[in-house]
Amino acid sequence: MNVSEKHAFRFSESFFGRVALAIIGKPSVAAVVYRPSPWALAHATFYGDETASETMGGACGYGNLFSNGYGIDTAALSTTLFNNGFACGTCYQIKCVKSPWCYSGVQFTTVTATNLCPPNWAKDTNNGGWCNPPRVHFDMSKPAFMKIAQWKAGIVPIMYRRVPCIRRGGLRFYFQGNGYWLLVYAMNVGGGGDIAKMWVKGSKTGWISMSHNWGASYQAFATLTGQSLSFKITSYTSKETIICWNVAPANWNVGLTYKSNVNFH
């Protein structure tokens, strides 16, 4: 057993559950099992129509939510929850409570945070300014809202909790920028769903720290053309770090999405 493998078999406890280290490719990486948070009170509204077309794009930068795997079960978060974009990709169970508009027999629906619900300072927090700080609020896609309540309600009280994001396959990286500036959107993030830090490594470089640009995007001001690229990512919530080796080949290009074979849990 080599040194990295010996370090791999450590166990510890965290708020989010038991942490077991496993070996995935090279080097050893932590496999943290994300645990749901307690239930809390908030309110929910909706935006757009039944097609969810108005939810495309958004402040997280996920673009077309259908082709990128997020679908119609999404929500825009109030400023307090959005956390300057670090909450992009987080997942929530939401159930309608204490309202005649709630659908009976519906336990909850699950949504992914893909957008920001901006404050409306011209209105009171209890009369239209639903997303004003410090209010916790979910502006759901209309199809997602209609799973828990009648849309005519407009706004309903809810219970919500953070839950693990269940994603198929590994993390995906959508490239923008140019040969001297790489802008990467990290998508399909499992586990806590969020990202705190990212690094990129070219086949001819060491690890280069990437700065948070906006939403779910990170940037590196470096010349990386002609090199295969690997990424190291730390979860904002669980603090787990995983490495995605050789995600993009040496002839990578902007405008394309590259897939890894590892993910958070």
CA 87 – CA 183 distance, rounded (Å)? 19
pLDDT digits (tens, 9 = 90+) for 71-105: 999 999 999 999 999 999 999 999 999 999 999 88
Best mean pLDDT range from 2-11, 28-37, 52-61, 187-196: 187-196
CATH number of the domain encompassing residue 187: 2.60.40.760
On the question of pLDDT at 223 being above 70, the answer is: yes
Q: How far apart are CA 142 and CA 173, in angstroms?
A: 28
The whole-model pTM stands at 0.85
**Structure token digits, residue 164:** 């693990």
Please give the angle made by the CA atoms of 22, 27 and 28, to the nearest 5 degrees: 20
Q: Domain count of the chain?
A: 2
pLDDT score at 243: 98
Within a domain: 68: yes
Q: Is the link from the previous residue into 118 a cis peptide, with omega within 30 of 0? A: no
Examine residue 196 and state whether it is found in any structural domain, yes or no: yes
d(CA 89, CA 192): 8
Tens-digit pLDDT profile for residues 115-133? 999 999 999 998 899 999 9
Residues 128 and 174 both lie in one domain: no
Residue 7 has pLDDT above 70, yes or no: no
Percent of the chain with pLDDT over 90: 76
Report whether pLDDT(144) > 70.
yes
Q: Comparing C-alpha atoms, which of 84, 29, 38, 118 is closest to residue 194?
A: 84
Segments forming the whole domain that contains residue 103: 38-160
Q: Does 31 have pLDDT greater than 90?
A: no
Task: Give the Cβ contact number of residue 180 at 10 Å.
Answer: 11
Whether residue 147 is found in the same domain as residue 174? no
CATH code: domain of residue 151:
2.40.40.10
DSSP lists the bridge partners of residue 182 as 177, 220
